[in-house]
Amino acid sequence: MAKIPIISYGHQSIDDNDIKEVVKVLKSDLLTQGPKVEEFEKAVARYCGAKYGVAVSSGTAALHLAYIVAGIKSGDEIITTPLTFAATANMLAVLGAKPVFIDIKSDTLNINPDLIEEKITKKTKAIVTVDFAGHPCDYDEILKIAKKHNLLVIEDACHALGAKYKGKKVGSFADMTILSFHPVKHITTGEGGMILTDNKDFYKKLKTLRHHGIVKKPEKGGWYYEIENPGYNYRITDFQCALGLSQLKKINRFIKRRREIVVIYNRAFKNIKEIITPTEKDYVKSSWHIYPIQLRWIDKRKTFDALQKQGIGVQVHYMPLHLHPFYQKKFRYKNGDFPVAEKYYGKEITLPLFPSLAEKDIKKVIKEIKKIIN
Ligand SMILES: *Cc1c(COP(=O)(O)O)cnc(C)c1O
């Protein structure tokens, strides 16, 4: 029997123009450290309403550098959500800082601002938000708390490029905003990420740290540079940035298509009591990185396996981070600490969602889910 092709939960949408732009750079002199990097940074920053962008080799690298320039170090406590990809907290842990998890809201699945203040101590340095599934957090409340306690807000917006909160674009309100250009995200560079900020000091430090910590001093000679702080090689290539620039031209169309598919799914599942569809508040415009549904009264694992067997590449986003062995051992988190996130995890599966998802595949996903539930 022929193997059923898998419709994955996320996938890049690449066209001939993207390929042409990459090939142009491949035929040019500079594969890296050329003009496309800054062009891409400026274009993304402009699109998001931020002053500066620093493009790096991944979203994880972007988080790492943002945390370093925020001054996060060993012993600091950082408020964040347990419902995120590991990198959000991993990059805190590698700096020796403690992620102080706060439970989520059951509707938006984002950090619950009402629970933040009671966890702030003298060691708290920043709040790291995650706009889960593309739905921005409650920034009026979060920014107010941050201001009152003199904390930085770093927004992990890897799910939320192009999303809006009360009419304002993601990237225009946190101290630093983090993007990823992994193939499943809104636009791709293969691997890649960016830090957005309005803070010139952060911007300069980020650029230096991306490139070994090298500070050029041309007044001392054309060759001359100094290391003031050791940095990394977190550079992104010019052909990746050419791909990113070409992809960015299509961002509005991509988001529009994601939103259309969400409407199709929402309508199809409206009268199925076993499925809870994801929420979008009326004051936000989600850019819908993923489509997470929650199952009622039916077994998650059986449903997951049955869908996979039918070629529907469902996923789970995510097992809350405090349930991972490392976070339990190192920071003494335990099962039961964040009941809303855990309850959600017990019921969640992610359905395929990406702009190039074929109409017939959308129909197939809906049909198979209905079949399995009945
Ligand atoms: C994808 C993602 C990252 C990491 O991005 P990479 O580019 O894969 O390193 C970080 N945080 C969240 C929430 C993500 O979804």
Any atom of ligand 1 within 6 Å of the Cβ of 294: no
pLDDT tens by residue, 5-28? 899 999 999 999 999 999 999 999
Distance 24 CA to ligand 1 centre (A): 28
Q: 193 in ligand 1 pocket by Cβ < 6 Å? A: yes
Question: Which residues, including other chains, have CB under 8 Å from residue 130's CB and lie 6 or more apart?
Answer: 80, 81, 83, 84, 88, 110, 111, 137, 155, 156, 158, 159
Q: Evaluate: CB of 156 within 6 angstroms of ligand 1.
A: yes
Whole-structure pTM value? 0.97
Confidence of residue 3 (pLDDT cuts 50, 70, 90): confident
Go through the domains of the chain in sequence order and give each one's CATH number.
16-248 (3.40.640.10), 251-373 (3.90.1150.10)
For ligand 1, atom 7, which residue shows the shortest CA distance?
59
List the Cα angle 355/357/362 in 5-degree steps.
125
Tell me what pLDDT residue 5 has. Answer: 81
pLDDT tens digits, 351-374: 999 999 999 999 999 999 999 988
pLDDT in tens, 232-288: 999 999 999 999 999 999 999 999 999 999 999 999 999 999 999 999 999 999 999
Does residue 207 surpass a pLDDT of 70? Answer: yes
Instruction: Tell me, using a 6 A CB cutoff, whether residue 87 lines ligand 1.
Output: yes
What is the separation of C-alpha 282 from the centre of its chain, rounded to a whole number of angstroms? 22
3-class secondary structure per residue, 95-108: CCCEEEECCECCCC
In this predicted model, what pLDDT tens digit does every residue of 293-346 receive, in sequence order? 999 999 999 999 999 999 999 999 999 999 999 999 999 999 999 999 999 999
Q: What is the pLDDT of residue 374?
A: 83
Q: What is the pLDDT of residues 63-116, one digit of tens each?
A: 999 999 999 999 999 999 999 999 999 999 999 999 999 999 999 999 999 999
Instruction: In whole angstroms, give the CA distance from residue 249 to residue 251.
Output: 6
Mean of pLDDT values over 170-180: 98
